[in-house]
Structure 1
Amino acid sequence: MRKVLSIIIVVICLILLVFSYMQWKEKINSAKGMESSSLKVEAGAKSDSSDEDDDVKPDADVERLLSLTSNQDEIVSSVFQSRLEADEVVDFLIVGSDVMEFGEPGYAERLEIALLEAYGDSVNVSTVAIEGASNSFVAEMDELIDFNVGYDVVLFEPLTLNSNGVVVVETQLEHIETFIDRVKDEVEDAVVVLHPPQPLHQAIHYPLQVESVKRFAEANEISYINHWTEWPDKDSDDLPNFLDEDSMPNSDGAEIWANTLITYFIAE
């Protein structure tokens, strides 16, 4: 009887030992699993953080881009600064008469190339060439321009030459205001920069219209790039050398025009 009881006690002890060992092993494995999971989460977090850091431009690169805006009016450079410091793309629109396409290439294409070379993927450039006068433009502008893009900076040649003899100056100025308001409907702090069409040789009334737009811009604190100062005087016999037979800019004329714009938007 004692032998049987001893055997039973031994068996029970063995069972308890085996059970205790299995519990201990399970706890060890569970602890290892938690540690491994923690390491994976930490590694994943570091990887995600690294990916985010890769997407953000280094401070030195942002400073370099900001330095390119030093020739701009403060109201324009502030928009560039806001987008660049937030690591956002500057949506840039070039809109005006189809004279922008003359010059092989025209001033618009030359400016676009320069902007992309200088600002890289920090700027997105669109161009819209208009054939009509300012009255038809404002009537159809929502069909001609995708305002949903939300343009930050708009370079606008306000169709002064196209409107010559079609729209009186006072009405043309109202059309400029209408266009600016439409741009700001989409982006509140958007800025519109005006510049005139090409000069014409020995023109009389047209320069007065251009001057009216310039004074309007100054009175309303609208940025204005006067590239006429870089061309030969309108009464100079040298001016036709920069225009084709239809008084459109040739390659030399487009270069003068574009270089003035490039100097404004891209400081060396």
Structure 2
Amino acid sequence: MRNVLLAVLLIISCISFIVAGHLYWQKKIDVTVRHAMTEATEFQATQKRMAYAKKLPAEVQAKIKRAIETNRPLRLVIAGSEATPAAKDGWPALLRQQLEAAYGNKVFQVVVKEYKGMTTKQAIEENIAGQLIKEKPDMVLWEPFLLNNNGVIDINDALAHIDKMIKTITAALPDVTIMLQPPNPIDNAVYYPKQVKQFQTFAKEKGYIYIDHWQAWPDYKSNELNKYVDPDTDLPTKDGQKRWADFLAGYFIAK
């Protein structure tokens, strides 16, 4: 009888061990499967967001990918004159909204630095480069005051100012990406469009990233431009702010 009891207890112990082992491994498999499914979902989400970046320069794509994978937003500083307003209805704010809608709110941290009335000469004198460095940007999208320079600063001097500021910023922040763009076009200008063309040529020759949003605006010789740029202030209207933002959104977000 005692032997039978021991045999029964042994069988029960074996069954308990087998069941416990099965439950343990089942739980471990479930955790592994869930982990794999989570990784697969995250990978798909990353791939989807990276597809939006496919038209951007390789160094910008790499920064976006790192921001997604590390959950550390890349700091995008948008800087310029009053043509780059910090107001909530300005094109930088409209662009930020579209970036967040596409990439989520943890990929770009947008900071807007508006310098009203600033010329490139004043930017050198007031050390605007130093102010931008203090923001510790990963990327700077810069509209460098050419409209305020118009009729005041010679374009060759302006380009020298711009180059000096870029070199100051990149010396302090070797990994920063500088992206240049002109201010908005203005109605029936004579010298200003030529200056913007020289600015574009300068950027190409220096190897700087240049975003040509002028192709999104009506011809500066046409009356249609007045819908988008106020002829009294030479600044974008509400429609102009949207047009500028939409063009840049198309640059940053491939469809």
Tell me the equivalent position of 1:249.
236
TM-align CA RMSD: 2.5
Write the mapping of 1:177-216 to structure 2, written as runs, cut at 5 A: 177-216=163-202
Tell me the equivalent position of 1:235.
221
Structure 1: gaps (5+ residues): 1-45
SS at match of 1:71: coil
Q: CA deviation at 1:178?
A: 2.2
- In structure 2, distance between residues paired with 1:168 and 1:226: 21
| TM-score, with structure 1 as normaliser | 0.72
Tell me the equivalent position of 2:65.
81
Q: CA deviation at 1:214?
A: 0.3
Percent of aligned pairs sharing the same letter:
27
Q: CA deviation at 1:144?
A: 7.4
Q: CA deviation at 1:158?
A: 1.0
Deviations 1:142-200 (A, max 9, x none): 58735234211111001101111222111211222222223323431211111111111
Kindly tell me the number of residue pairs found equivalent between the two proteins.
215
SS at match of 1:58: helix
Return the letter of the residue paired with 1:262.
Answer: A
- In structure 1, distance between residues paired with 2:101 and 2:125: 35
- In structure 1, distance between residues paired with 2:153 and 2:171: 25
Residue 103 and residue 149 in structure 1: after superposition, are their counterparts in 2 closer, same or farther (change >3 A)?
Answer: closer
SS at match of 2:249: helix
Residue 116 and residue 213 in structure 1: after superposition, are their counterparts in 2 closer, same or farther (change >3 A)?
Answer: same
Q: Is the 8 A contact 1:147 1:186 kept in 2?
A: yes
- In structure 1, distance between residues paired with 2:48 and 2:175: 23
| TM-score, with structure 2 as normaliser | 0.76
Is 1:69 aligned with 2:56?
no
Structure 2: gaps (5+ residues): 1-30
Write the mapping of 1:1-268 to structure 2, written as runs, cut at 5 A: 58-101=42-85, 105-119=89-103, 120-131=105-116, 132-142=118-128, 145-244=131-230, 245-268=232-255
- In structure 1, distance between residues paired with 2:221 and 2:203: 25
Bigger Cα Rg: 1
Q: CA deviation at 1:215?
A: 0.3
- In structure 2, distance between residues paired with 1:231 and 1:104: 22
- In structure 1, distance between residues paired with 2:126 and 2:68: 32
